[in-house]
Structure 1
Amino acid sequence: MKTNQVSKAAAISPLAIRERTGSISTAEIISVLHGEITGLHIKQAFSTEVAEEITAKFVGSPGLQERKDGVPGQYVGASHYRKDAATYFAASETARPYVDALFENLVDPVRALFDALKRELHRQGIDLRLARSQDGHANICRALSWSGVGAYALEPHDDVAQVICAGNDYEFSAVAHNTVAALNFYPSLADEGGNLRLWSHKPTVTDRKSQGVETTGYPYSKAYLEPVPCRDLQLKAGDIALIDGGFVHGVTCQSGSGKRRLVLNSFFGFAQPDLVLWWT
């Protein structure tokens, strides 16, 4: 039997999405962590001037690299995807000066959110910290510009498979038993497209096996997702999106000249009842 053969229809799970303008709240973030909200889209959440400066620093960064893990795009930072813990944390240490340089002489919106959430969780008796090992610790975020062609700049995927299969050397592998939250800040968007699309489907291990994506969660086929309802978040520079990464999601195709789609991305979630881990 072929591993990518669709064995059954994808189960539909309703999306609970909130969209509004203004500042993101720690209460909303915690609601995503507890699985009460699927997606949160905050418009005009951080300064467009800061967004433009971050974008310019990304384009000119000496740490800018092409991804070589089968997911097309450019990045500054480190990704745990398809890496063992030693390799990932070593890469995080190497990349840290380049990530920090993206926010040099700027108000860092990612760090501000992290610090606010850390204070609120501390009041609840919960610790929030960067994931770590003997080889180093994670960065606050990574900067990504997806470059896939066709219907999607980033193919439909889920973020849980790569956490489940990260291995025992990663302390954040335990987060897969809870909500893996994906946090995205958007300093720049293409003229058209580049929307964040969420499908009403939260795959199980059996679902991933049927699609041949058991260890990566990437990519789900068009045929598999075709009958599943979906919703697009129409993004603009200065927006923040926070989603339950267990739901299938992707980035629609981009068009227009000049502007690139740039996202500052992090993951976080409960590893223990009193511990939330943050990584990239």
Structure 2
Amino acid sequence: MLNKEVSKVQAISPLSIKERTGTINIAEIISVLKGEITGLHIKQAFSIEAADEITANFTGNPGLKERTDGVPGQYIGASHYRKDASTYFAEAQEARPFVDAVFGNLLDPVRGVFDGLKRHLHSQGIELRLAQSEQGQANVCRALCWSGTGTYDLEPHDDVAQLLYGGNDCEISAVANNIVAALNFYPSMPKEGGNLRIWSHKPTVADRKSQGLETTGYPYSTAYLEPIPFYDLHLKAGDIALIDGGYVHGVTRHSINDKRRLLLNCFFGFAQPDLVLWWT
């Protein structure tokens, strides 16, 4: 539900949220990339059988690690957060077999979306590819369990500022000038909590600078966000969420003794008018 208090300081950016049951379609993905939809929640988008197998493959994966970059969580794959291009792409290359092992013999649902969008964009004269450098290529996704112990499993943040950390030699930095789409698949969700909360606020460079978050976008304080309206996506296993990552968003705390909250995550966006990049 929406928090109806309105900020007198921070700019309020109206949310356009679409929720339905079924499979995700290319037209909706394009709508997010164009800024027509802020958040898309597709319920029962992939099978519980596949979700359970992915969860089991995550738990027993030898590539499972604890994050050490100040964002509490466990992960398989590579994150570009607070890394230069060479470090990120080298880690992505090293993690690739472990990311593949998350799916085992399953048809990879993330790559299915990637391949479908790639075909559509190609017909429009637009290239979609995984981001790359001399050190390697991005993975199609990463697997994550956030483990914050405060009000949030994952503190409020935006996904744009962190693109600037890699510097001009990192090709994904150019996407910061456009919409950064964040795509999440949910193989496992707790019964209570773990909502994806989106605030009606898309921070500017000046906003981030005022909070000291120029190249991280993490975390926005409770005091900063208190007067801003928000919307919660109540997710279940088998759901997909796609959002404009430029809006501040976070994950509400879930009950400790419940099922783990596992997601498969990736980002994509226009680096050039004829090029869309995909990364983690």
TM-score range, shorter chain: over 0.9
Alignment match, 2:207: 207
Per-residue deviation, 1:96? 0.1
Quick one: distance in 1 between partners of 2:134 and 2:47? 36
Equivalent AA in structure 2 for residue 125 of structure 1: G
Alignment match, 1:222: 222
Per-residue deviation, 1:257? 2.2
Equivalent AA in structure 2 for residue 34 of structure 1: K
Q: Secondary structure at the match of 2:103?
A: coil
Instruction: State whether residues 190 and 256 of structure 1, in contact with CA within 8 Å, keep that contact through their aligned partners in structure 2.
Output: no
Per-residue deviation, 1:256? 5.0
Alignment match, 2:241: 241
Q: Does 1:156 align with 2:156?
A: yes
Alignment match, 1:274: 274
Equivalent AA in structure 2 for residue 56 of structure 1: A
TM-score (normalizing by structure 2): 0.96
Quick one: distance in 2 between partners of 1:242 and 1:135? 29
Alignment match, 2:4: none
Quick one: distance in 2 between partners of 1:251 and 1:126? 33
Q: Does 1:55 align with 2:38?
A: no
Alignment match, 2:189: 189
Q: Secondary structure at the match of 1:40?
A: strand
Instruction: State whether residues 191 and 257 of structure 1, in contact with CA within 8 Å, keep that contact through their aligned partners in structure 2.
Output: no
Quick one: distance in 2 between partners of 1:166 and 1:18? 32
Alignment match, 1:3: none
Per-residue deviation, 1:169? 1.8
Alignment match, 2:41: 41
Alignment match, 1:32: 32
Q: Does 1:105 align with 2:105?
A: yes
Q: Alpha-carbon deviations, 1:88-122, whole Å to 9, x = none?
A: 11100100000001111101100100000001111
CA RMSD of aligned residues (A): 0.9
Quick one: distance in 2 between partners of 1:105 and 1:215? 38
Instruction: State whether residues 143 and 262 of structure 2, in contact with CA within 8 Å, keep that contact through their aligned partners in structure 1.
Output: yes
Per-residue deviation, 1:150? 1.7
Quick one: distance in 1 between partners of 2:92 and 2:62? 15
Alignment match, 1:176: 176
TM-score (normalizing by structure 1): 0.96
Alignment match, 1:65: 65
Instruction: State whether residues 40 and 242 of structure 1, in contact with CA within 8 Å, keep that contact through their aligned partners in structure 2.
Output: yes
Alignment match, 1:20: 20
Per-residue deviation, 1:165? 2.9
Equivalent AA in structure 2 for residue 264 of structure 1: L
Quick one: distance in 1 between partners of 2:222 and 2:124? 42
| Structure 1 residue runs without a partner (length 5+) | 1-7
Moved more, 166-175 or 67-76: 166-175
Equivalent AA in structure 2 for residue 204 of structure 1: T
Instruction: State whether residues 9 and 224 of structure 1, in contact with CA within 8 Å, keep that contact through their aligned partners in structure 2.
Output: no
Q: Secondary structure at the match of 1:192?
A: coil
The ranges of structure 1 where at least 4 consecutive aligned residues each deviate by more than 2 angstroms after the TM superposition are none
Instruction: State whether residues 84 and 165 of structure 2, in contact with CA within 8 Å, keep that contact through their aligned partners in structure 1.
Output: no
| Structure 2 residue runs without a partner (length 5+) | 1-7
Quick one: distance in 2 between partners of 1:172 and 1:191? 36
Q: Secondary structure at the match of 1:193?
A: coil
Per-residue deviation, 1:264? 0.3
Q: Secondary structure at the match of 1:203?
A: coil
Equivalent AA in structure 1 for residue 236 of structure 2: K
Equivalent AA in structure 2 for residue 149 of structure 1: T
The sequence identity of aligned pairs, in percent, is: 75
Per-residue deviation, 1:212? 1.4
Q: Does 1:134 align with 2:139?
A: no
Per-residue deviation, 1:258? 4.4
Quick one: distance in 1 between partners of 2:139 and 2:161? 21
